A and B are shown apart, each in its own frame.
Chain A
Amino acid sequence: MLRPFALYRPATVAEAAEVVTRDGPEAALYAGGTELLLVLKAGLLRVRSLVDLKRIPGLDAIARDDGHVSIGATATHRAVERAPAVLAGCPLVAGVARHVANIRVRATGTVGGNLAFADPHSDLATLFLAFDAAVRLESPRGGRELPLAEFVLGPYETARGDDEILVAVRLRPWPAGAAGAYVKFGVHERPTLGVAAALMPDAGGQAIADARLAVGCVGPRPQRLAAAEARLRGWSVADVARHADEIAALAARDVDPADDLHGSAEYKREMTRVFVRRILPIAAARAAGRDTHERHPHTVIV
């Protein structure tokens, strides 16, 4: 059962912003409801107004935008999975979209809703960090773009103001020749750990010019592991698997895990080590044009 609310169906972002500006925290933005309706049902959140963003034309657009891939806030996971712009620019993102939660959540859940809800046990924010994601926010005061790393502040907490609406996320596709993977682990509905890795070889294809390593679900918010990324630079792709232990140790050192129902902080630190050690050889094999075809219990490898 849900407590009564007034349902607004604005036709523009400006109209939606008008309602949330007036009602502040008593209004909730509704972009799919897969998370929001749960907390409303549980009584964890009470709102006077529900503002349906799904009917705003164009807010679900997915397109190539000045070299980036732009995903509109109300694009569903199913739409991301099939979008030509995603498949061409960030195919790993399309692959992960296919494994978010379950088929029902993918049909109604949206990218904007997922990021704005900031459930720490979620795939997208972790994955998107590996694509240098930035979110676009709009309000009656104007618009701003914020790196995703600065948008997600903690569990269920973002930098979004009460009068702001997340309208899109922009991803920067990896350069040609780059390869990566996303690996998630868990026995619950939501992942216990997610890790994204990318290796970006130089023009010769041998030395790693740049790398991305992001881990999420284990702590209050997903994080990039800068020291581990820096250590990868300059190595040859062939050397990555051999040095995976060293990178995994750096990742385990720098990760900021927290105790929760998925496990202790100590356990998650160790799992971070294990899964960083696993994902690097996968990314390296792909950078060399191969695949490891490995499988692990309770693990999804994309």
Chain B
Amino acid sequence: MNVIPIRSSSEIRFTLNGRAVAVDVRPEALLLDVLRDRLQLKGAKRSCDMQVCGACTVLVDGAPVSACTFLAVEVEGRDVLTVEGLGTADDLHPLQAAFMDHAAVQCGFCTAGMLMTATALLAEEPAPTAERVVESLRGNLCRCTGYRKIVEAILACARPAR
């Protein structure tokens, strides 16, 4: 047998919100637990725990993933962005400002995931239609059902279509 497995805790290094981090993780550790419990980043939420609700959405190399169902060892050498890396209270990301301006937040539980999905969408499609925004949010549930405001806030950050 040539392949040596990872059986115990090993160090992974990755970029988290623009800063280099190193953390020891077991092979079965989930990214969400590492972010919340080890690195104290509580923005991504555990909710459905089955890749349906989107509350745990973070970006790995720009692509949205469900941190609840993603092995932490997978981010070795990669770039992870959480809502904490989007902006600060003094220097909001345009999407965060737009969510506030449009009252796109009710209870707030889904908000971090909504923001991360919207960030990924706008990076790829700077001028999406309303239909595309709705389509991209298919996997992000807001149980306050405030979708209309959320879509409006995202569209407010879209570049005008040419």
Spell out A's residues near B (CB within 8 Å): 1-11, 15, 18-19, 22, 33-34, 37-38, 41, 49-50, 78, 101-105, 107-108, 189
Contacts and interface: CB of A to CB of B under 8 A. Distances in A.
4 closest Cβ pairs, A-B complex: A102-B139, A6-B5, A7-B27, A2-B28
Contacts of A34: 51, 69
B57 interface: yes
A189 B52 contact: yes
Interface string B133-157: 0001011100000000000000000
B69 A5 contact: no
B138 A108 contact: no
A104 B6 contact: no
A159 B136 CA distance: 35
Contacts of B28: 2-5, 7
A6 B51 contact: no
A102 B51 contact: yes
B54 A102 contact: yes
Contacts of A102: 51-52, 54, 138-140
B2 interface: yes
Nearest to B138: A102
Given A3-B28, A4-B26, A33-B69, A104 B51 contact: yes
B105 interface: no
Interface in B1-59: 1-3, 5-7, 26-30, 33, 49-52, 54, 57
A4 B5 CA distance: 12
A10 B2 CA distance: 9
Contacts of A18: 1-3
Interface string B65-108: 11001110100000000000000000000000000000000000
Which of the four size classes fits the interface of chain B?
20 to 34
A104 B65 contact: yes
A91 to B, nearest CB: 18
Contact of B65 (A11, A50, A108): A108
Given A18-B2, A33-B69, 17 more contacts: A4-B28, A5-B28, A7-B5, A7-B71, A9-B3, A11-B3, A19-B3, A22-B1, A33-B71, A34-B51, A38-B69, A41-B69, A103-B117, A103-B120, A103-B136, A104-B66, A104-B139
Contact of A103 (B70, B71, B139): B139
Nearest to A5: B28
B30 A2 contact: yes
Contacts of A5: 27-28
26 contacts: A2-B28, A2-B30, A4-B26, A6-B5, A6-B6, A7-B5, A18-B3, A33-B71, A34-B51, A34-B69, A37-B69, A37-B70, A38-B50, A41-B49, A49-B5, A50-B27, A102-B51, A102-B54, A103-B136, A103-B138, A104-B54, A104-B57, A104-B64, A104-B139, A107-B65, A108-B70
Which residue, of A6, A10, A11, has the highest number of chain B Cβ atoms within 10 A?
A6
Contacts of B139: 101-105
Contacts of B52: 102, 189
B107 to A, nearest CB: 21
Contacts of A41: 49-50, 69
Given A4-B28, A41-B69, A78 B63 contact: yes
Contact of B6 (A7, A38, A101): A7
Nearest to A22: B1
Contacts of A105: 51, 66, 139
A5 B2 CA distance: 18
Contacts of B138: 102-103
B24 to A, nearest CB: 15
A5 B27 CA distance: 7
Contacts of B7: 4, 6-7
B76 to A, nearest CB: 11
Contacts of A9: 3, 5-6
A127 to B, nearest CB: 18
A4 B29 CA distance: 9
Nearest to B27: A7
A94 B35 CA distance: 34
Nearest to B1: A18
